[in-house]
């Protein structure tokens, strides 16, 4: 039929008119991140960590720096754990190789700062602060 293509076109645009839109209103509405999303900072659970150092050894860019100490029983313990997001290429090797599954991505990807210093994160301090906030407020805090 002559003009069938025109009607098809009109049908497509009308269908699109009523469909859900692709636009995300970003800062107001946060994107839904997938389970395997790699981004944000490394979130460490210091109690679970056995200080094996596999994450640091596996890191291609050397963006994880950890310092271990031996306690009275001669057991290795974590004393410092720094993650440099500026050097990280989000390859996920650290997380995949962690035998205790004690690191994961926190997926809070918007942490741009004015200095490279801000990209170096003291993961133990972050974990402690989060725990303290949970103990005080009872509710989960976002920062």
Partner 1 sequence: MPNDDILLRIGASLRELFAGVLPGPDAVDVAMYFVALIACVALIFTNAVILILAERKVAGFMQSRLGPHRLGPYGMFQTVADVIKLLTKEDYRPQGVDKWVWAMAPVVLFVPPVMVYAVLPFGKNLVPVDLNIGIFYFVAVSSVATIAFLMAGWGSNNKYSVIGGMRAVAQMVSYEIPLVFSILGVVMLTGSLQTSVIVEKQSGIWFILLQPVAFVIYLIAAAAETNRMPFDLVEGESEIIAGPFTEYSGMRWAMFFLAEYASLFAVSAIASTLFLGGWHGPSFLPGWVWFLGKTYVMIFVFMWVRWTFPRLRVDQLMALCWKYLIPVSLANILITGIGIFAYRAMGG
As measured in angstroms, the least distance from the Cβ of 4 to partner 1 is 14
Residue among 15 and 142 whose Cβ is closer to partner 1: 15
As measured in angstroms, the least distance from the Cβ of 12 to partner 1 is 8
Kindly state the helix (H) or strand (E) to which residue 82 belongs, with its residue range: strand 76-84
DSSP state of 77: E
Whole-number Å distance between alpha carbons of 140 and 33:
19
As measured in angstroms, the least distance from the Cβ of 27 to partner 1 is 11
Residue 114: φ, ψ to 5° = -95, 0
What x/- string results for residues 3 through 42 when contact with partner 1 is judged by CB under 8 A?
---x--xx-xxx-xx-x-xxx-x-----------------
Whole-number Å distance between alpha carbons of 126 and 82:
10
Residue among 4 and 36 whose Cβ is closer to partner 1: 4
Residue among 25 and 135 whose Cβ is closer to partner 1: 25
Residue among 13 and 34 whose Cβ is closer to partner 1: 13
Residue 15: both structure tokens together: 């269908």
DSSP state of 74: S
Residue 73 touches partner 1, criterion: CB under 8 A: no
Q: Which of 96, 4, 108, 7 is nearest to 54 (CA)?
A: 96
Give me the residues that bind partner 1 (CB under 8 A), please.
Answer: 6, 9-10, 12-14, 16-17, 19, 21-23, 25
């Amino acid at each position: 039929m002559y003009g069938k293509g025109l009607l098809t076109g009109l049908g497509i645009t009308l269908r699109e008119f009523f469909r859900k839109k692709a636009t995300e209103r970003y800062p107001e509405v946060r994107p839904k991140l997938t389970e395997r999303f790699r981004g944000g900072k490394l979130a460490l659970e210091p109690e679970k960590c056995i200080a094996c150092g596999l994450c640091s050894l596996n890191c291609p860019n050397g963006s994880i720096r950890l310092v271990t100490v031996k306690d009275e029983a001669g057991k290795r313990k974590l004393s410092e754990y720094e993650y440099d997001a500026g050097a990280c290429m989000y390859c996920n090797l650290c997380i995949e190789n962690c035998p205790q599954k004690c690191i994961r991505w926190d997926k809070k990807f918007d942490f741009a700062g004015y200095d490279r210093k801000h990209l170096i994160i003291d993961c133990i301090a972050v974990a402690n602060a989060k725990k303290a906030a949970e103990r005080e407020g009872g509710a989960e805090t976002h920062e």
